Structure 1
Amino acid sequence: MTGEPPFLFRGALPWTAFVAVLFWLNYSARAMLSPLLVSVEADLGVGHAAATSLLFMQSLGFCVAQFSCGFLLSRIRPFRMTGGSVLASGLVLIAMLTVHSLSRGRLMFMLFGFTAGFYFPAAMATLSSLVYPRDWGKAVAVHELAPNVGFIFLPLLAQAGLLIATWQGVFALLGGFMALVGGAFLLFGKGGRAYSAPPSFRGVSGMVRDPALGAIVILLAIATIGEFSVFSVLQIYLVGEQGFRPGTANIVISLARLVTPLAVVIGGWAADRRDVYRVVGIGLTVHAVALGLMCVPGARTPALIGVGMQAASIAVLFPSIFKAMAQAFPADRQPVLMSLSMPVSSVISAGLAPLFLGWCGEYLSFAVGFATVAVASLVGLIAVFYLARRHARCGESTL
């Protein structure tokens, strides 16, 4: 294709898909530790709590990068940060071959989280430049398929990688591919040539005092805990408390995720055609029930049903939560809203929650951790009720 973006959606699709591949690599690399935790524990001689501390260190680096991104994008072109993040992340993953102790692992995973954290804000700026505004929703939909497809194939790829390499080698193989694709995007990718405006924090203090921000953070945290935190301990839960072999557990996890791409589509349809607060409320309730099934001791069938229900209920939630965010705050406050809410929810869901679940699995039981998340999901209904009442008072003026 000749010319420069923006393009019509069909013409932009190859470049949109290119960015989606980068997101698939970024997200898969961040989640790859989860199906490898049993191997990591055996190799480093640590328990569940210590192993999941690697996820916590990764989340710390990730959040520092996200906080920095808004400032750096006014000085670095988005396409360079997008490709550079994937390239640098790949190089760090190759260096995982040097990890043979927990302390070295914590350092490397924090560094990896830092390099990976620059991807998302830069990629969103790149993606938005590829298409005209009327096609923005379709471009985002293509991009957001990446994590859901990743959840399906990631456990299988991890298991296949362990047949030919150590867990460090699996990361190195993925890192080599990431470095190649990130470098290719820097050379051949389109979009993201314009610098972003430096962030303005005017009105941030008022937003911080607004209870709606707290409600949004609560809902995002619960949703991302369900998406990432629960997934991060599923293998060691299925192996340790349900008696599966590691390879079989990874296959079960992949099969449970087959429905999630369809669930995302259903969630998007429901967000556009139904009351978003009712959709979120139902999703949180189903999520709590699913986690309750996973708490039934010594019963595989309820646990497996719960694993599938849990994945689907969370996938349905996200479109409605993002629409609720748009209804709670006007468009000119959305960038500040994202800069405040996303890092907080990320450090909770990608760091503290997996650490807590791992601690429960080692010293109590995973059922205690899952029950706690289920209770949090039901408490989240209070945030839904508050946002619904606020929207009813304000009408459609904040859309």
Structure 2
Amino acid sequence: METEQVENGSALRPHFTIIAFLTAIFFFNFTSRILLSPLTPTIERDMGLGHGAMGFFFFFITAGYFISLAGSGFISSRISHRLTIIVSSVAAGFVLIAVCFTETAWGFGACILALGLVTGIYLPSGIATITGLVDSRQWGKALAIHELAPNLGFIAAPLMVEVLMIWFSWRCVMGVTGVASILVGGSFALYGRGGEFYGEKPNFVLIRHLFMKPSFFVVIILFSLAISSTVGVYSMLPLYLVTNHGIPRVEANTIIAVSRISPLFMVFLGGWAGDRFGAAKTMKVVFFLTGIITTLLGFANTYWIKLIVLFQPVSAVCFFPVGFALLSMTVPPRSRNLAVSLAIPVSFMIGAGLFPAVIGILGDAGLFGSGFIILELFTRPSKLCLNGLFVQTLD
């Protein structure tokens, strides 16, 4: 029954409720991982750490995410996508609560690593559940709704930090987020539906088959570039604004939160553009605009930096609905979770792990702003190559 549902799909509207439910779960899954970003100035001061150490905390959480995302198929193939989603949400909540009791940098690092491990198993099952319910002609729109979660998280995280820190410490901020994650996971267990089928267990034959496909390899590189321009930049931006431009933490987090409002609408434009104009044309425009604006982050003075921050994420988010739809199209239905669990870990390690770590090291060397320029220029040849040649294989 589940297999037939996965293969045939159905219209978008009858499944709007489950898509909204998964979007809520994804919101707390994502927010719990990026909550570290608006807290970096406070954590750095409280623990007496440098920029490089803070950058490596992002590497730790991404390393955990990499490991669990890559191995998520072993879990979903045994307990179904539905239970995998529930376990991820509830476990993430308990890890965040554990942060409330950490006093050392080592203890905090261990919790951050664990958070990456438990949140990483969600995405393949979430994507597989949505693409299994919705007709392939509606994937762009359905996944655009799902992609509201990270964009809402980008807005909510800094605002939630500033509101809660009026009364609580940064540790309690994470604890409150943990309680919310447990509640939404428990609610899905009681009232949600979908995902009552099993994922594809990873094996070397399937992995080799996927990596032999040029389109799959191209999608991995594209995701790496997109994540470095969104999550990677966002991770270190509060620290950059506070330490290099002398902007107060509250103002910096407010600016960053406001900058993520327009992407809420742009993500739908990305889904529509992908369905209407195709992946190649959409991605060319996205990477061209994002590259220019990200480079300006390193050049701008304190007056102009605020304006640049507001525009930086606008075009970058348009990639993800198209990217996930393309990723789903490269494999048969039961292997979609495997494709996600292979492609996204590598992309996140580069874009959300290595990128912030390098930026932090450059920051300690007095080259914080130059880091955005150097890393953006380093990826530009890859973007030109992909946009001009390889990306054509996706259409």
After TM superposition, the score normalised by the length of structure 2 is: 0.89
Q: Runs of 5+ in structure 1 lacking a partner?
A: none
Aligned to 1:205: 208
- Of 23-32 and 263-272, deviating more is 263-272
Aligned to 1:341: 343
In the alignment, is the contact (CA less than 8 A) between 2:141 and 2:271 conserved in 1?
A: no
Change (3 A) 1:225 1:174: same
Match of 1:141 among 139, 144, 156: 144
Aligned counterparts of 1:217 and 1:83: Cα–Cα separation in 2: 27
* 3-state SS of paired residue (1:195): coil
Change (3 A) 1:377 1:129: same
Aligned counterparts of 1:262 and 1:280: Cα–Cα separation in 2: 17
Aligned counterparts of 1:153 and 1:163: Cα–Cα separation in 2: 16
Match of 1:375 among 366, 369, 377: 377
1:330 Cα deviation after fit: 5.6
In the alignment, is the contact (CA less than 8 A) between 1:293 and 1:305 conserved in 2?
A: no
Aligned to 2:162: 159
Change (3 A) 1:309 1:195: same
1:337 Cα deviation after fit: 4.0
- Of 131-140 and 152-161, deviating more is 131-140
- Of 378-387 and 25-34, deviating more is 378-387
Aligned counterparts of 2:91 and 2:338: Cα–Cα separation in 1: 27
Aligned counterparts of 1:274 and 1:287: Cα–Cα separation in 2: 19
Aligned counterparts of 1:275 and 1:361: Cα–Cα separation in 2: 39
Match of 1:76 among 69, 79, 85: 79
Deviations along 1:217-252, one digit per CA (max 9) or x if unpaired, are: 221111001110100111111111222100000110
1:203 Cα deviation after fit: 5.5
Q: Runs of 5+ in structure 2 lacking a partner?
A: none
Match of 1:87 among 90, 94, 98: 90
Do residues 274 (structure 1) and 277 (structure 2) align? yes
Change (3 A) 1:156 1:184: same
Aligned to 1:298: 301
Aligned counterparts of 1:216 and 1:10: Cα–Cα separation in 2: 28
Deviations along 1:360-381, one digit per CA (max 9) or x if unpaired, are: 2222322221102321342222
Aligned counterparts of 2:210 and 2:20: Cα–Cα separation in 1: 35
1:153 Cα deviation after fit: 2.0
Aligned counterparts of 2:37 and 2:97: Cα–Cα separation in 1: 18
1:128 Cα deviation after fit: 4.1
What percent identity do the matched residue pairs reach? Answer: 30
In the alignment, is the contact (CA less than 8 A) between 2:164 and 2:173 conserved in 1?
A: yes
Aligned counterparts of 2:131 and 2:171: Cα–Cα separation in 1: 36
1:212 Cα deviation after fit: 4.7
Aligned to 2:235: 232
- Matched residue type, 2:57: L
In the alignment, is the contact (CA less than 8 A) between 1:88 and 1:115 conserved in 2?
A: yes
Match of 1:115 among 102, 114, 118: 118
Deviations along 1:75-124, one digit per CA (max 9) or x if unpaired, are: 10221111111101000100001222111111110011101111111222
In the alignment, is the contact (CA less than 8 A) between 2:125 and 2:199 conserved in 1?
A: no
Aligned counterparts of 2:348 and 2:291: Cα–Cα separation in 1: 20
Aligned to 1:16: 19
Aligned counterparts of 2:196 and 2:273: Cα–Cα separation in 1: 35
Aligned counterparts of 1:203 and 1:8: Cα–Cα separation in 2: 30
Change (3 A) 1:199 1:357: same
1:276 Cα deviation after fit: 3.0
Change (3 A) 1:282 1:255: same
* 3-state SS of paired residue (2:160): helix
Aligned counterparts of 1:129 and 1:331: Cα–Cα separation in 2: 11
Change (3 A) 1:212 1:21: closer
- Matched residue type, 2:377: V
1:131 Cα deviation after fit: 4.8
The residue correspondences of 1:24-43 to structure 2 (distance < 5 A) are 24-43=27-46
In the alignment, is the contact (CA less than 8 A) between 1:96 and 1:108 conserved in 2?
A: yes
1:353 Cα deviation after fit: 1.0
Aligned counterparts of 1:324 and 1:382: Cα–Cα separation in 2: 19
1:253 Cα deviation after fit: 0.4
In the alignment, is the contact (CA less than 8 A) between 2:139 and 2:325 conserved in 1?
A: no
- Matched residue type, 1:257: R
Change (3 A) 1:149 1:36: same
1:28 Cα deviation after fit: 0.6
In the alignment, is the contact (CA less than 8 A) between 2:128 and 2:337 conserved in 1?
A: no
- Matched residue type, 2:390: L
Higher relative CO (Cα under 8 Å, sequence separation at least 6) belongs to: 2
In the alignment, is the contact (CA less than 8 A) between 2:31 and 2:157 conserved in 1?
A: yes
Aligned length: 386
After TM superposition, the score normalised by the length of structure 1 is: 0.88
Aligned to 1:310: 312
Aligned counterparts of 1:212 and 1:267: Cα–Cα separation in 2: 20
1:134 Cα deviation after fit: 5.8
RMSD: 2.5
* 3-state SS of paired residue (1:75): helix
Aligned to 2:265: 262
Deviations along 1:152-187, one digit per CA (max 9) or x if unpaired, are: 222111111111111111000110111122122222
- Of 380-389 and 112-121, deviating more is 380-389
Aligned counterparts of 1:221 and 1:131: Cα–Cα separation in 2: 26
The residue correspondences of 1:122-137 to structure 2 (distance < 5 A) are 122-131=125-134, 136-137=139-140
Change (3 A) 1:66 1:309: same
Change (3 A) 1:220 1:131: closer
- Matched residue type, 2:34: A
Aligned to 2:173: 170
Change (3 A) 1:21 1:390: closer
- Matched residue type, 1:218: I
- Matched residue type, 1:105: F
